[in-house]
Structure 1
Amino acid sequence: MRYRYDWKAYRQQDLSGDMSRDNVHRWDGYVTYHINSDFTFAWQTTLYSKQNDYRYANHKKWATENAFVLQYHMTPDITPYIEYDYLDRQGVYNGRDNLSENSYRIGVSFKL
């Protein structure tokens, strides 16, 4: 578990019309499971919480992100992976908000 505080150096107008900082509390959690010597599954979750009078695109003071990763340990130095991220209802498209947002990644990690 990890905690971070995202502090903004600038002020902007909040929902009540006051000038304040859009600061965020952030909690990250990780769980890793070694399926066997070749495969590892990981889940990473993040909870964001606005400190002042701001909202996310889901109309709440908080939002979550969850990443699910499957890694293949090809060699000790090369690890291909696939990842699926659910980014809560943060999507905004054509003037609509509160839409489910997802991302997908395929990549390779190299140890140098």
Structure 2
Amino acid sequence: MNRQLYRIIFNQARQMWMVVAEIARAGQGRTGRRHRRRSSPPCCCQLTALRFSLLLALGGISLTVQAAIVADGQAPGRQQPTLIRSANGTPQVNIQTPGADGVSHNSYRQFDVDKQGVILNNS
């Protein structure tokens, strides 16, 4: 009945999560259960408002992380891509149409992509 059901357990011997069948019984006896030891000591300090403001003032914390894609404003008009924000918030770069030779030149001052990514539109 439960041959296609699985669960995820932590394997102490391998120190990793593993998938086992729902009907597996190994490791659940009296000797099989073990108490976990903490792998790291508990934190001995708290981040108070004063400590947070000091870290922020000294540059230890950055509140804004963003993708910076800037088209080169000094480039000719046919080499400047159009930058917009898509419906889901991802930056979208509409690159210029290719010229007679079939090549599209797009000039940027800065092209940094964050973990959200960027959409390159060539239509």
What TM-score results when the alignment is normalised by the length of structure 2? Answer: 0.22
Return the structure number with greater helix share: 2
The structure with more radius of gyration:
2
**Normalising by the residue count of structure 1, what TM-score does the alignment of the two structures yield?**
0.23
